[in-house]
Structure 1
Amino acid sequence: MTGIRSGSLVAAVLSLGLLAGCGGGSGNQPESFENFTAEEIYKRGEYELENTRKPKDAVKYFTEVERLYPYSEWAKRALIMQAYSHHRARDYEEARGAAQRFIDTYPGDEDAAYAKYLLALSYYDQIDEIGRDQGLTFQALQSLREVIEQYPDTEYARSAILKFDLAFDHLAAKEMEIGRYYLKRGHYTAAINRFRVVVEEFQTTTHTPEALMRLVEAYLALGLNDQAQTAGAILGHNFRSSPFYQDAYAQLRGHGLQPEARGDSWLTRVYRQVIQGKWL
């Protein structure tokens, strides 16, 4: 038994060495892969991915498996590994393409959930600094939601939920950034519109307390005291221990006002929902 295992190991190592020669030079033709089995080519791709840390090189091997042995079990494995390798190489568009092909070709396969997750991840991992266009964030949210809804009992759904919350928070951060920009320059109505979006559409994010405080500041600057007081009341009801409430309270007291619901505005309606326990 030991001799057989040793012989198999030697054969495997030799196969990897020969395959390395096939893919090494620029003059080699793809036909050189035809002398090897699907498993041998696939395992060479795994080797490139895990040992040489060259995901782009690994893609070449996985692609050859699919080309030479279409519709085989190894081709199916190679396709999902193409998506993974592209993602590792940060070739996100290619990763999405391979993942989508897997989903379209093998919709009922157990790895379809992972392919869907990789597709969502390819959008999510492109979300970086707040200042960039947020189109990718919306696409990430949509794709993550699909993972959560279509594969609710998987580990990928659990991870997608966490990433969904972070992406959602990212959108709120963008609204806050723009709102602060307008507020600093005295464009109070434009600033209010941005902070209102956070309060109404992103109320479960970490940015809601600051948005309410900024609303107090902006409404006071416009002389709209009822709205400022109501924003302060909502802030105090939900985030009394927040430093943003302390700041808002000081601003109101500086104008001889108290945080309380007054008038009939969109904030008054939000306040009623808060008191009734239908908000936050």
Structure 2
Amino acid sequence: MASWLVAGCGTTTKDETSGWSTDKLYSEAKEEAANGNYERAGKLFERLEGRAAGTLLAQQAEIEHAYVLYKTGEKAQALQTLERFLKLHPTSPAADYALYLQGLVNFNDNLGILGSIAKQDLSERDQQASRDAFQSFKQLVDQYPQSRYAEDAQVRMNYITNSLAQYEVHVARYYYRRGAYVAAANRAQQAVQEFQQSPSSEEALFIMMRSYEKLGLVQLHDDAQRVLRQNFPTSPYLTAEGLRSKERSWWQFW
């Protein structure tokens, strides 16, 4: 039994970083991350967080670890790490980057209709991550307008706004095509109210106008048409030919 215990102890994995300084540990972790070795980089950053606890270097390691988790697809863990960081270090010099990275984790380049549209009910597609990303970017822009990340965050906010508006219009169109005119009008109205500056509000107003017409709500139809004409005086939705063209494209699309 004693010889077995000795043999077992001999197989214990040795921590090769035990004699490293925190600076060396950080540089090695950075190099591993730069080379795409994210799993090893993550382990090194974790060790650095423990050894440099209470220092700015430990904060940096925590942020870098969150980035590594993001790159390896560990979205939930990355968000948890960033949320904890922002809660514990709200005045950290890296708080702006933490917000930016939080936005990036939730950001999706294929938002709404800008990506391929899956064969599923559009009303079931979750846009919460997009909204969460927007809030992180907005907080960054509002609190740190001079941040090096603020300009890109603003660009992404605009992209998200337009994508969410397009998503709402797609859902409204989906309902309209299936004869659910009340749902179509409500969803289109939501798009207009939330995303007034988006180009998609033009079509949203048109869907409201047509839905109210189908429902026999003359006053609401006229109001929607008036707003459409005021904001988009050259809209093709206001001409008979343009209307026919647009409605044909709807059926071809779906």
> Shorter-normalised TM-score: what interval?
0.7 to 0.9
Select between 157-166 and 204-213 the one with higher mean Cα deviation.
157-166
- Code of the aligned partner of 1:183: Y
1:5-154 aligned within 5 A: 29=13, 31-51=15-35, 53-125=36-108, 128-129=111-112, 131=122, 132-154=125-147
CA distance in structure 1 between the aligned counterparts of 2:77 and 2:176, rounded to whole angstroms: 41
User: Is the CA contact 2:79–2:102 (under 8 Å) kept in the aligned structure 1?
Assistant: yes
Confirm or deny that 1:170 pairs with 2:184: no
Higher relative contact order (CA 8 A, sep 6+): 2
Q: C-alpha offsets along residues 88-118 of structure 1, whole Å, 9 cap, x if unaligned?
A: 2232222222223333343322211111221
CA distance in structure 1 between the aligned counterparts of 2:93 and 2:184, rounded to whole angstroms: 48
Select between 41-50 and 220-229 the one with higher mean Cα deviation.
220-229
| Aligned residue pairs, count | 224
- TM-score normalised to the size of structure 2? 0.77
Evaluate the alpha carbon distance shift between residue 35 and residue 199 of structure 1 in structure 2; reply closer, same or farther with a 3 A threshold.
Answer: same
User: Is the CA contact 1:144–1:164 (under 8 Å) kept in the aligned structure 2?
Assistant: yes
CA distance in structure 2 between the aligned counterparts of 1:138 and 1:110, rounded to whole angstroms: 25
| 1:73 Cα deviation after fit | 4.1
Evaluate the alpha carbon distance shift between residue 39 and residue 248 of structure 1 in structure 2; reply closer, same or farther with a 3 A threshold.
Answer: farther
Larger Rg: 1
CA distance in structure 2 between the aligned counterparts of 1:213 and 1:237, rounded to whole angstroms: 13
- In structure 2, runs of 5+ residues without a counterpart are 1-10, 114-121, 245-254
User: Is the CA contact 1:55–1:85 (under 8 Å) kept in the aligned structure 2?
Assistant: yes
| 1:243 Cα deviation after fit | 3.0
Evaluate the alpha carbon distance shift between residue 189 and residue 76 of structure 1 in structure 2; reply closer, same or farther with a 3 A threshold.
Answer: closer
- In structure 1, runs of 5+ residues without a counterpart are 1-26, 252-280
| 1:143 Cα deviation after fit | 2.1
| 1:193 Cα deviation after fit | 0.9
User: Is the CA contact 1:46–1:58 (under 8 Å) kept in the aligned structure 2?
Assistant: yes
Evaluate the alpha carbon distance shift between residue 86 and residue 193 of structure 1 in structure 2; reply closer, same or farther with a 3 A threshold.
Answer: same
User: Is the CA contact 1:49–1:85 (under 8 Å) kept in the aligned structure 2?
Assistant: yes
| 1:34 Cα deviation after fit | 0.8
Confirm or deny that 1:192 pairs with 2:185: yes
Evaluate the alpha carbon distance shift between residue 182 and residue 69 of structure 1 in structure 2; reply closer, same or farther with a 3 A threshold.
Answer: same
- Code of the aligned partner of 2:32: E
